[in-house]
Amino acid sequence: MDSQSTGSRTSGNALERTGHRLADVVERWMPSPFLFAIILSYIVFLAGVLVEGAGPAEMVSYWFDGFWAFLTFAMQMALILMTGFVIAYHPRVNDALRRLTEVPSTAGGAVVMVAVFSMAIAWVHWGFSLILGAIFAREMGKTAAEKDIPVHYPLLCVAGYMGLGLTWHWGLSGSAPLLLATAGNAFIQQGVLESTVPPTKTIFSTYALALTVLSIVYASLMLYLLSPAAERAKSIHDYVDKSDLQSAEAATDGGERSDGARASSDLQSDGGTMESSPEAQLGAGPVAPAERIDNSRILGAIIALTGVLYVAYLFATRGLDALNLNVVNFGFLFIGLAIYTKPAVYRERFGDAATAAAGIVLLFPFFAGIQGMMNASGLSQTFAESMLAVSTQATFPVVAWLVGSMVNLFVPSGGGEWIVLGPSIISAAQELGVPVGQATIAYAVGDAHTNLLNPFWAIPLLAITGIKAREMFGYAIAMMLLLVPFLGAALYLVPY
């Protein structure tokens, strides 16, 4: 790569050099996400025995019981990954993303564009950001390599992850604020709250909106300053084999190429049924009715339209209250079919995306087991109450942020975490005269912040971008540390 390419820097600033050194250390020492989960499991096991006095057999029982708590959620996550993957890699959608990647002309500009895209989309819905941020980072990396722009690919991947690492829990799909706005929620049933807390007090409060805008600006600036100098920048080709990129492009092109052109490569056996279109087989003799049905654009369009119209009906009748993970998955599933039209081709693209979900299937039960030990043993509540006991009215938002940050390292599930910690945080806030909406947003900031250390939520991004956790998390950890003084000051100073 030419170190004098347009927009490159030939010497790095102090922040860039520090980030580069930290990235080197993390790349050498950080375990894989699977081993990370195992290490955390043992830490929580020992803490439950030593701090809460639980017996070893009890802790193993809590672990086993919790192990299965994420089965529904894991399937939801697998679907959101696979449906998003299939949609984003359709030629028309992928072309739109590629056109956006043509806009930046400098390395720093490319990183900032991916980050702003990821953080803004995450505010709308974390699921969108989880997939589109990863794919946008990958496509930006490919375009930068083609244009010889010295973008450091690991930092580009961190930029695509910033939505999950910063803004998602303050937005329209934030678990904690949405739960408070739900009629008859668990906190009302427990007597912690007398009534619901509307989104105007949380998501749409000037406090949350100001934090969101300021955080996006600050994080973008830090990412720009962290961008390695040209001589240290490594392109996507240093981390992903060109053959893998070409395979992905071939799969993308396959959705739009004529069936005749695909006949030689896409004739895959499925219980004796060929999956290429009838048109591709016209020269091979009569086409079975089943083949025509499998490749019927009319049938695919009817099914897709049914699903899409139902999603539209939900939003028309319920407004933004209809927005949840099941609706997103349902919508993605049928929008994908509407884009591809042919049921057989759509099924093939799902097959291409299936391997990306392997990490979710393996790791989610282990983190669910950690959550089971944390919650059942009382560790989560003990930690939260100990921290909140030393707070004052002025420092409470900062303390709530720290509580969310620390617990999220071990229980990276915003909704499950809030069910356990919420009563303690809300009760403490009410005793100190802190608005519940402010306390909730402060906690949500912490819950998102330490996603930049725990690779749990990065699993889909790792699958899509082709990078390893240890190759990108040095910069993710650098961003987490750089955000600490900013978030502490902002939570303390921004008025509610």
Q: What are the pLDDT digits (tens) for 477-492?
A: 999 999 999 999 999 9
Supply the angle between the helices 14-29 and 469-493 in degrees, to the nearest 10: 130
Q: Rounded distance, CA 241 to CA 24, Å?
A: 21
DSSP H helical segments within 107-205, as ranges?
A: 107-124, 126-147, 153-162, 175-180, 186-189
Q: Please name which of 183, 205, 189 lies closest in space to residue 441, comparing C-alpha atoms.
A: 205
Query: Helix 358-377 to helix 414-432 angle, to the nearest 10 degrees?
Result: 40
* pLDDT tens digits for range 20-46: 899 889 988 888 888 888 999 999 999
pLDDT band at 104 (very low <50, low <70, confident <90, very high): very high
Q: Percent of the chain, pLDDT > 90?
A: 43
The answer to whether the predicted template modeling score (pTM) of the entire model surpasses 0.75 is yes
Indicate the helix (H) or strand (E) that contains 223: helix 206-226
Phi, psi of 453, deg, nearest 5: -115, -40
Could you give the CA distance from residue 229 to residue 227 in angstroms, rounded to a whole number?
7
Under DSSP, the state recorded for 453 is T
Element of type H or E holding 273: strand 273-274
State pLDDT tens for residues 215-243.
Answer: 999 999 999 999 998 888 999 999 988 76
| DSSP per-residue string spanning 44-91 | HHHHHHHHS---HHHHHHHHHHHHTTTHHHHHHHHHHHHHHHHHHTSH
pLDDT tens digits along 275-311: 444 444 444 557 788 788 878 888 888 999 999 999 9
Strand partners, 270: 273
Measure CA of the first residue to CA of the last residue in the chain; give whole Å: 49
What integer pLDDT is reported at residue 142 of this predicted model? 95
Residue of higher predicted confidence among 309 and 7: 309
- The least confident of 127-141, 156-170, 391-405 is 127-141
Q: Closest Cα partner for 39 from 368, 358, 410? A: 410
8-state DSSP, 274: E
Confidence of residue 258 (pLDDT cuts 50, 70, 90): very low
The per-residue pLDDT of the chain, averaged, comes to 84
Query: Please, what sign has the CA dihedral across residues 215, 218, 224, 227?
Result: negative
pLDDT of residue 69: 80
Q: Coil, strand or helix: which one is 441?
A: helix
Q: What is the dihedral of CA 19, 410, 432, 51, to 10 degrees?
A: -120
Q: Which two tokens stand for residue 370?
A: 């950690």
Give the closest residue to 201 by CA, choosing from 389, 407, 444, 390.
444
In the beta sheet, which residues pair with residue 363? none
Residue whose token pair is 């991947």? 157
Provide the CA 208 distance to its chain's centre, in angstroms.
Answer: 20
